[in-house]
Structure 1
Amino acid sequence: MLNKLIPTDKRFFALFTQSADLLRQGAEALAQAVENPARSGEFALKLERLEHDGDTLTHDILSLLDKSFLTPIDREDIHALVQALDDCLDYMESVTERMQLYGLTQPTEFMKQMVDVIRKQAAEIHILLPLISGFKYEKIIPHCKEINRLENVGDKLLREALADLFKGTTEPLTVMKWKDIYDYLETATDKCEDVAGIVERIVLKHG
């Protein structure tokens, strides 16, 4: 009986790692869209595909969760982690989608900096997720703290971006478009922080 359960446990951790890899690829595609405005449509399509793959993977993990009698970590933590990872990718994809929808072809300096924060958070998550199975507090927590620090940077950038946006002579409609973009970027950093918080909770329970 126990031998039958062990592969299921390993599959959860492997699927978490796959989800983190999709997130890293999504952050890179978002960064490429910002760094190469002329090819933003191409990278937006790539992010759309990654987001679809993420949805499929989320479904697979939740389906496995429903079928598993025993799980390596608490069910509610698996569900919360999977949802947070999916949300991260959703918000990244929403940024490029809105860039196309609004016809914003020249990213601002604030957008570039916020996207860089997301890329760094995704890189940390990509390192973090494979470490969960070991439940080693001393290895996991530094990455959680760095993700949290980066989220604070994202908050600061949002405040600065909005202050700059509202003090200028930009057309009101353009202001609304950029505010929407900035809000989605900042929410993406929040969702990455949620991932770190859930992982920290898991390791405190099991470490």
Structure 2
Amino acid sequence: MLFNRSKDRFFYQTLTDITLNIVEAVKLFRENVETLHEKEQYANKIKELESKGDEYTHLILQELDQTFVPPLDREDILALAGHLDDVLDEVESCTARFVYCRIDQTTPYLIQFADNLGKCANLLHQAFVALEKKEFRTIRKISIEINELENEGDRLMRESVYTLFEEPVDLLNLIKMKEIYERLEGVSDTFEDLMDVMESVVMKYA
């Protein structure tokens, strides 16, 4: 049986804790893009959460080394943890770009991207809660919803970049914002990639 050993709780709880860390990082990202007036402070806070995520991943690796029979295949646990780490890395990377690209003014598209990522992060957390409970139908439903949000991210990227070229006044700003918009669309891709991994895991055990 799956999920019936004492050490199972550690793995699922830690993976879920990582998703809560992501939820917090995306929440701070949303606060940041409201004005970008305190982007350095927000970059530092999100960097701390990214480092915390690395610590969670290290704990999982340590426990895998000490666990004879983990609740999921080792490669599945590693894949889930690795993709979770990718999500947080991408959020942190986008936040850092506001600082070193000296982006001082927000845009409606940055806020829309942040709202989109907030929905993805909350759904991701729900998916990992469902994984421990073996609620596989819930995971499938969430995967579809995240796929729809990823499609929305694609639309936002195309529209935002198109708008940049409508009236290109500041070429340097155009280049910087184009990179950030494309990077933000890439964050939504990482959520979808993670759910693809989770669905493949679920198919083994459902």
Q: How far does residue 105 in structure 1 lie from its aligned partner after superposition?
A: 1.4
TM-superposed deviation, 1:169: 1.8
After superposition, the C-alpha distances for 1:176-196 in whole angstroms (9 at most, x for unaligned) are 211121122111101111121
Aligned CA-pair RMSD: 1.4
Is 1:81 aligned with 2:80? yes
Quick one: distance in 2 between partners of 1:82 and 1:100? Answer: 28
Partner of 1:48: 47
Residue number in structure 1 paired with 2:193: 194
Q: For each residue in 1:147-194, what CA deviation from the matched residue of structure 2 results, as whole angstroms up to 9, or x when unmatched?
A: 111001001111111111123223222122111211221111011111
Partner residue in 1 for 2:131: 132
State the identity %.
34
Indicate conservation of the 8 Å contact 1:121/1:147, yes or no: yes
User: Which runs of 5 or more structure 1 residues have no equivalent in the other structure?
Assistant: none
Matched to 1:199, the amino acid is M
Unaligned stretches of 5+ residues in structure 2: none
Aligned ranges 1:20-59 → 2 under 5 Å = 20-59=19-58
Task: Quote the residue 1:181 is aligned against.
Answer: 180
**Is the contact made by 1:16 and 1:130 (CA closer than 8 Å) also made in structure 2?**
no
Q: Which has the higher helix share?
A: 1
Asked if the contact 1:81–1:199 (Cα under 8 Å) also holds between the matched residues in 2, the reply is yes
- The answer for the alignment partner of 2:97 in structure 1 is 98
Deviation readout 1:93-125 (Å, 9 max, x if unpaired): 111111011111112111111111111100101
Which deviations, in whole Å up to 9, do the C-alpha atoms of 1:69-97 show, x marking residues without a partner? 11111211111111111111111111111
Structure 1 residue 155 corresponds to structure 2 residue 154: yes
Deviates more, 1:131-140 or 1:191-200: 131-140
CA contact (8 A) 1:141 1:200 kept: yes
d(CA) in 1 for partners of 2:61 and 2:103? 36
The answer to whether the 8 A contact 1:151-1:193 is kept is yes
**Residue identity opposite 2:51 in structure 1:** H
| 1:112 equivalent in alignment to 2:103 | no
Q: Which amino acid aligns with 1:41?
A: E
Deviates more, 1:130-139 or 1:21-30: 130-139
